[in-house]
A and B are shown apart, each in its own frame.
Chain A
Amino acid sequence: MRLRIWGARGSIPAPGPRTARYGGNTSCVQVTLSDGSVLVLDAGSGIRDLGPACDGVERIHILLTHLHLDHIQGLLFFAPFFRPETEIVIWGPRAPGRSLRDRIGRYLSAPLSPIEIRSLPAKVSFRQCPPDEWRIGPARIRAAPVRHRGPTLGFRITDADSSLCYLPDHEPALGVPLAELEPDWISGFALAERCSLLLHDCQYADEEYSERVGWGHSRVSDALVFARRSAADHVLLFHHDPLHTDSDLDQLHVRAGERWAALGGAPDALAMATEGAEVDVRADGARHTNGAAAPRAGQAGR
C-alpha cells in the first residue's frame, strides 16, 4: 500500500510563501492499493492536484471522514468528475435524516456551486459507510465514528500485511485522562491499534489548546499519547492549523519529537505530514520516499 499526501492542512486552505514547505491545501490523501486500486481519503482542496494523476483510472473510491468544508471543498475541482468514462464512488458517514447524496448536494448546488451533482459527466454514486468491515479491491476497510464535531468517521485500511489508520479530525482527550483511560473507552483506539501507519490530527500546539477545547481537534501531546497507547508503528502528524507557518510547524516538530522520545517512541517513527510526501506503508515499517522527515533536533526557532 502506498500513499501520497495532497493536502495536510486543516480548516481552510493556507496558501502562500509562509506555508509552502508543509503545504496549504486541505485534507486529501491518495492511497494506492497493492492491485493498483485508488482510494482517496477526503476531498479537501488537495484533491484538485490529484485529479490529473488519476488519468486512466477507471474507478475511484473517495472516502469522506465527514462533511466539514475543508474535507469536501475540492470535490467540484476533481478532474475525474468530468470524465464520462470514470466511475466514482463516494463513501461517507451516516447521519440522521438526509442521505449522503443530499447532504453533499447542499454544497454541490446553487447558490454555492454552478454545477449540480446530476450534471457531473462521471458515473457518481454515494454510499454510507457500513458499520461492519467491507472490501474495496484487495483492501479491507473499517470505518467507525470518532470524536469530532458532527458525525465523523475514522478509517482503517488493511491491504495484505500492512494497515493504515486515518484520523484527521479527532479529539480523543476531550474531558478524559487519555493516558490512563481503558483502551476500549478511547475514541478511535480500535481503528489505530497496532496499525503500520497512523495519520492523526495535531492541529494545536499544547499552549493553544486551552482556548480551543471541544473544537474537535487534538493538541500535539494528546496526539502523541494516543499514538503511543494504540501502539501504531509509525505516525504522521496531520491537519495542520492554517495559522501555523512553516517555521511554527518546524518548532512543533522538534517539540513533538522530544515529547515522543519521552513517551518512549522510536525517533524514526514520527514525522510531520507534508504536502507531496509519499509513503510506502509496509508491515515492517512505513518508509517515506520524499517530503516527510523524522524529527530532528535543533530546528526550533528557525
Chain B
Amino acid sequence: MSEKGGLAIATEQKPIELILARSLLDSLSTPGCLIDLDGTVVYYNEAVGKLAGIAFEETGPMPASEWGDTFGPFDEKGRYIPFDEHPLTLAVRAGRAGHFVQRFRSANGDHFEVAVSAIPLVGTTGFEGALVFFWPARGQ
C-alpha cells in the first residue's frame, strides 16, 4: 500500500467532543482546561494561563502527573493529591460531574485556593475526557 493513498494518516485526530470543547474554552473568560482519556491535560485556555502563571503555548500538553507536580492540586495540609485518587477524577470516570475546592500553586510559587468543577465528555462512542472549570473559592 502506498503512503499516499493507503490511509497513511500521520495525524491522530482529537475526538470531535474535545475539538468543540476547546473552541468553547477559547471563547470564555472563565478558566477551563481539557483532560483526555489518558489523563493528559491536552489544553487550557488563556484564563487558566493567567491563574497558573504560564500560557499553554509555553507548556504544551502535559500528563496529569506532570501537571500535578507543577501546579497541584494540594490538600489543606499542602500534600499533593494524586490524579488517580482525586475526587473529581473518580467522579468523572464514574460518569458523574464533580465539584471540589482545593489549593493550587502557580508557576511563580504562589499558592491559592480555587473551586473546580469537572464534567465528563461522553460522545456517541463513549467517554472522551473531561472539561474542567475553575471558579473563585468562597470569599474570594
Contact = CB atoms under 8 A, between A and B. Distances in A.
A146 B16 contact: yes
A193 B9 contact: yes
A190 B2 CA distance: 17
Interface in B1-55: 1-16, 19-20, 22-24, 26-27, 43
B26 A161 contact: no
A187 interface: yes
Interface in A182-203: 183-187, 189-191, 193-194, 196
Contacts of A144: 13, 16
B9 A190 contact: yes
Given A175-B26, A183-B11, A94 B125 contact: yes
Interface residues of A, number: 36
A48 B1 CA distance: 36
Contacts of A133: 7
B14 A185 contact: yes
A233 B4 CA distance: 10
B124 A94 contact: yes
Contacts of B2: 161, 283
B7 A145 contact: no
B6 to A, nearest CB: 7
B65 to A, nearest CB: 22
22 contacts: A94-B125, A133-B7, A142-B7, A145-B124, A146-B16, A147-B16, A151-B124, A174-B23, A175-B23, A176-B23, A185-B14, A185-B22, A185-B43, A187-B16, A189-B11, A190-B9, A190-B11, A190-B12, A190-B13, A193-B9, A233-B4, A283-B5
Complex A-B, nearest 6 residue pairs according to Cβ-Cβ distance, in ascending order: A190-B13, A145-B16, A94-B124, A175-B23, A161-B5, A163-B5
Contacts, number: 76
Interface in A159-184: 159-163, 174-176, 183-184
B72 to A, nearest CB: 26
Contacts of A158: 5-7
Contacts of A193: 9-11
A140 B26 contact: no
Nearest to B60: A182
Interface residues of B, number: 27
A174 B26 CA distance: 11
Contacts of B26: 175-176
B4 A163 contact: yes
A235 B20 CA distance: 25
A132 to B, nearest CB: 10
Given A161-B4, A175-B23, A190-B9, 16 more contacts: A93-B124, A94-B125, A95-B124, A144-B13, A146-B16, A147-B19, A158-B7, A161-B1, A162-B5, A175-B24, A184-B12, A184-B13, A185-B22, A190-B11, A194-B4, A196-B4
Contacts of B5: 158-163, 196, 283
A189 B7 contact: no
B12 A194 contact: no
B47 to A, nearest CB: 16
A146 B1 CA distance: 27
A145 B18 CA distance: 11
A42 B15 CA distance: 23
B124 A187 contact: no
A270 to B, nearest CB: 18
Interface string A5-32: 0000000000000000000000000000
A187 B19 contact: yes
Contacts of A196: 4-5
